[in-house]
Amino acid sequence: MKGITGRDTERSCTTGAADTNTDSNGCAEVISDRNDGRVYGTTDRLFQIAGQRAAEEKTSLVKKKWYQGKPILSIGILSVILLGCLFAEVLMTKDPTYMDLINYNKAPDGEFLFGTDTMGRDIFSMIWYGGRISLLIGALSTAISTLVAVVVGAFSGAAPEWLDNLIMRFTEIFLSIPSLLLVILLQAIMGKANVLSLSVVLGLTSWTSIAKVVRTEVRQIRNSEFVIAARCMGGGFFHILWKHFAPNFLSSILFMVIMNVRSAIISESTLSFMGIGLPLEVISWGSMLSLSEKALMTSSWWMILIPGVFLVTTLLCLTNIGNYLRKSGNRRERNL
């Protein structure tokens, strides 16, 4: 009884009557119109149905403003940081690479807005100038890892069973090499670190999780009629990948791509901090923080806090945007 009547009542309330004031009478009438002749509405009033609840009307009535539920604040802050880094030349008050040997290790004041570091460089200018490199590495390495992931994942998903198994085993082994060691080794092979080599290294060590998702999605649709039709008409692997596979898995990897940007920025700063990433002369948020050992000795908090706050704010904005992309569909009402 509950299973059938309860559900039907709910549904007809929401779909049949747009009016919020529909009382139980209204519902009963809609239901009793069904052609088997039985009157369902009366039972509704006689017994209370367990778990029955009023239909959720709020969503249909109150029209959402365009900004509601969207991470506007995060997008705003992120664009401020992005634009600031893009037009760093306009914002900079000093030359970020110039070492002022008189004013080194100064606390923030009117002239040096964020203070200077132990080498006498102006931190305010370095923030915007260095943000470029950090964000560039984030974007570049994500582009590389996504490209590798999509090609490997789609190939593995479309390949015959044994090849697919082999590729997946290989991916697992690849995952089991500690990524930091892999980065150090790749770094050693590619020579002295620069922006490009670091992006390639980070990209090559972070593609596996996206590849797995792509593979699963491709496996689900690879035998669909439209794919077979495309193959019959002589479509190549990359054509099918781009025209048929990509639109299907794009939404499910979008979140992971954003998260990859995040982890690439984290990795870059960690590596630069430990002295195996970018050298001190190449200004990025990470390499600015590599001076922090000296800063700790002189307790110059601004050298540690300011680049870090920028770093964390950027990461936080990216996470919020990523989480928004992940949330899909409405949440059901809880039964507890």
Partner 1 sequence: MRKRNRALYYGKKLLIFLFSVLVLSAVVFYVARLAPGDPLVSYYGDRTEKMSPKEREWAMEKLGLDEPIHVQYVKWMQNAFHGDFGISFKYKRDVVEVIRGRIVNTLLLGGIGFLCIFVGSLLLGVFCAWHEDRWIDRILCKLGTVSSCIPEFWLSLVLILIFAVTLRVLPSSGAYSTGRANDIGDRVRHLILPLAIVTIEHLWYYAYMIRNKLLEEVRADYVLLAKAKGLNKRRILFWHCLRNVLPAYLSIMAIAVPHVLGGTFVVETVFSYPGIGALSYESARYHDYNLLMLLCMMSGILVIFCNMLSQIINEHIDPRIKASEVAETSEVTAA
The residue ranges that bind partner 1 (CB under 8 A) are 50-51, 165, 168-169, 172-173, 175-181, 184-185, 188-189, 191, 209, 212-213, 215-216, 255-256, 259, 262, 266, 269-270, 273-274, 276, 289, 292, 296, 299, 301, 304-305, 308, 311-312, 315-316, 319-320, 323, 332-336
Q: What would the DSSP string read from start to end of 75-120?
A: HHHHHHHHHHHHTHHHH-SS-TT---SSS-SPPS-SSSTT-B-TT-
Q: How far is the CB of 100 from partner 1 (least distance, A)?
A: 24
Query: How far is C-alpha 172 from the geometric centre of its chain's CA atoms?
Result: 23
Q: How far is the CB of 161 from partner 1 (least distance, A)?
A: 10
Q: Cα–Cα distance between 299 and 293 in angstroms, integer? A: 10
Cα-Cα-Cα-Cα dihedral sign, residues 250, 251, 256, 261: positive
Residue placing its CB nearer to partner 1 in the complex, 91 or 315: 315
Q: What would the DSSP string read from start to end of 204-256?
A: HTS-HHHHHHHHHHHHHHTTSHHHHHHHHTT--HHHHIIIIIHHHHHHHHHHH
Residues comprising the chain, all counted: 336
Q: How far is the CB of 251 from partner 1 (least distance, A)?
A: 14
- Spell out the residues 6+ positions from residue 309 whose beta carbon is closer than 8 angstroms to its own: none
- DSSP-derived 3-state class of residue 186: helix
Q: Cα–Cα distance between 236 and 86 in angstroms, integer? A: 39
What phi and psi, each to the nearest 5 degrees, are found at residue 75? -60, -40
Residue placing its CB nearer to partner 1 in the complex, 51 or 110: 51
Q: How far is the CB of 296 from partner 1 (least distance, A)?
A: 6
Residue placing its CB nearer to partner 1 in the complex, 14 or 323: 323
Six token digits for residue 167: 């590729």
Residue placing its CB nearer to partner 1 in the complex, 30 or 288: 288
Residue placing its CB nearer to partner 1 in the complex, 96 or 286: 286
Structure letter (DSSP) for residue 2: I
What phi and psi, each to the nearest 5 degrees, are found at residue 299? 40, 50
Q: How far is the CB of 21 from partner 1 (least distance, A)?
A: 27
Which residues, listed in sequence order, are joined to residue 116 by a DSSP beta bridge? 122
Residue placing its CB nearer to partner 1 in the complex, 37 or 51: 51
Residue placing its CB nearer to partner 1 in the complex, 27 or 295: 295
Residue placing its CB nearer to partner 1 in the complex, 113 or 316: 316
Q: How far is the CB of 249 from partner 1 (least distance, A)?
A: 12
Q: How far is the CB of 293 from partner 1 (least distance, A)?
A: 9
Q: How far is the CB of 213 from partner 1 (least distance, A)?
A: 6
Q: Cα–Cα distance between 320 and 325 in angstroms, integer? A: 9
